[in-house]
Structure 1
Amino acid sequence: MTPARDSGAGPNVLLGTRIRERRMAQDRRQSDVARAVGISPAYLNLIEHNRRPVSAELLEKLAAELQITPEELSEGREEVRIAALREAAAHPVAGDSPPELEQLAEFLARYPGWSELLIAQSRRAASLERQLVDMSDRMTQDPYLLTTMHEVLSAVTSVRSTAAILVEDGEVAPEWRDRFHANLHQDSQRLSVTAQSLVAYLDSFEAEGTAASPQEEVEAWLADGADPAIQLSSDAARQMAAGIGQRLARDRQMLPDQALLDGLRADRDVVALAARLDLPVDLVMRRIVDLQPEGFAGAGLLVCDASGMLTLRRAAKGFALPRPGDSCALWPLFQALAAPQVALAHHVVTTEGRAFATISHSSRRQPLGLHGPWLTEATMLMIPLDGPAPDDALPVGPACRICPRSDCVARREPSILVPQGPRTGL
């Protein structure tokens, strides 16, 4: 089933988006609404991002729970927009000079584009305000956060006390020294595990009830098989997905599935295969990740432009990617930018000890002709390896802020997972 479109709101307003906007307008949590209608929060999240259909029965339940008629929720009548404009007008920013409420219908009819923009901006501002309040509340009242912080402080205090005894008491009996060393080891492990859990929990604060960025939406769409039936919630994500979809279609036309499979049976060397087929190396790498043939299961792909900004991320199995806009400077992907048209082969190992074989390649083009700028694009194919990492594997991480490698020569900012030198006090 394809989510219904709102003919009055324009072609880009989808049913899931309206459900989400209505829920957020009432300051309701996903988990509360999902529980009330008998579905999981995860399924409601997919619905709100237009990635799952809504049956007529479920639409009735959602409409009743959100105090709106199914027709308004699925068709988006003009009354819904007038109500949204009234909500915008009621914001305290209006002060002592509220807008002319009696002319809302005329304003909506004469300026539908400006009305949509005003409604969207108002809802976005309200969403950010609720998110800020929610974060503030969770930072001061969340029981899990408070318990975890207490656990961190407890472990730090224990480590410091034990270390102080070993330093200040001079000679310590071997039996007691061994006990103290064992305590230090156990407490440091407890502190490391708890701190990593705390970081993961803090990073999840904005996940519930907040739409993914366009890039994350497209990444999830690609992970679902780039199914055109899956609806994306934002115009930017749809535009990005359209461009990627066109490129995938061109790639498949230039290198059909069977031709790729036959070529890999003869030679698994990606660069040699590209030369034999007289095709670009990056095209062959994209097709391998798209098809996932035998021997390349779980393969992923990273693409960046000359600035180092990642323009496409298809995560390899077991390779944790950071938030969009962040990356590790040691990824071989960036080394390829300095050697256009040359394929670089590296082994890498993540902070969790997972090993990958990588092939990185960059190319240049001049779409505006002889006097136009050079555009450089680098692509890295990542292939998961079984067993321990090879001796020549390059240690890499997700991003400096969440990478525990304290001795990394490429670190550009302190990690929140490791201590940053001697400190006084707790």
Structure 2
Amino acid sequence: MSDRKLIAGPPIRRLRRRHGLSQAAMAEMLGISPSYLNLVERNHRPVSASLLVALAEQFDFDPRTLAAAEPGGGADAIRRRLADPLFADLEVDRAEVDEWLAAAPGGAEAFARAFDRSGGGGGGMIADIADPIVEVRRAIDRWRGHFADLDAAAETLADELRLTGTDLYAAIGQRLTVKHHLTLRILPIDVLPDTLRRLDLHARQLQLSETLKHEDRLFAVAFQLAQLEARGEIEAVARGAGFTDRVAERLFRRHLTGYFAAALLMPYARFLRACEASGYDLDLLQRRFGVGFEALAFRLTTLGRVGARGLPFFMVRIDRAGQLSKRHAGASDAPLIAASYRCPLWRLHHAFERPGDTAVQLVELEDGERWLTLSRSIRPQGWRAEDVPADFAVGLGVKASHIGALAAARGIDPGGPATPIGLGCRACLRPDCRQRSHPPTGRALLVNERERRGTALEFAGD
């Protein structure tokens, strides 16, 4: 469980009513006063550790479901939705969100569902069609990116594989052969022209494209082993998410399988020790664990084990048009990943200009919050659109207060010069930006026919 306060009044009230208990009867079972239970159910008190234990013992349920059941995914998830440009002029702060969740949890949940169903803000999507990607992202955010049971199972399996040799790719191949009667076969591109990985059950083969680099082959075999040996753990988490949309459920299951594969290649305890010892040196970590940059970046967002947490990174992936294709908030609560658009002053967009190099940048948002971001372009093997190879930029970010632990931040003063950026022009109120393409939502454009200033667009103030 996270170390943040757990507000879970509505699910506790539903649990009590499901068992046909009055507040007095349930309070007696839990060893607390009815008045205290009343405050908990009304979200006026957090759920204490002792109460959490008593609930689990008396009613035999997984206490993590309380965290997953917070209205709208909790205060941080609500704030990420409110970062949409549609709400830029409202300036809803954290205190207001906390008060809203406490006073009207049902209303907050209704807002979250309506926002997610519409695809977020004014995106022009059909309101009555749910977006399965948004639903999956919401489920991942409820767990703050960390799935403890999957991590523990992957760590155990990784230890078993290490006993067979130091070459993890060979060890996984041997396990697939001996335990699952599957052989690995690398096939030429003319045999697998549009496929990177295929499981041929008739031939009992896991077939991989010759276009895959070694790190991509390693992830592919780890993914296949996860499908075979972590099916029970993955299904348990997927069922607990309670999806009604089958596409969303399958996407979530695929995410969990990829999570297990990443945890298998980068076992939690060993990986965290390497991160801390190296100052989160990205190049060193890639070489030590034999993984690609994107897999490494994703793994850094999952280090949420209680008592052994890593730095709270977020991760995004964009294409050359700036479209977002992946976002993982982890435990970062970063508004940068929630915005519908991104600021062109963020060097994430410049990563395409220098393939293989990492762009390090200290940025400052309008509220004064500072983040250190690390951006690098990638070109996945075998991904092409017509004759044009697919390029993406992957960005990592962590609050500036943590940068003393980062090798990449040596020489950077967290309180020194930083690039002022916003959450996209529609949400940004900075008046003097020469890169601006649109006025902020709710602000009228000003046109002066007598002079031309350095800013691209001028707009009315408050």
TM category, shorter:
0.3 to 0.5
TM-score calculated relative to the size of structure 1: 0.48
Larger Rg: 1
Bigger relative CO (Cα 8 Å, ≥ 6 apart): 2
TM-score by length of 2: 0.44
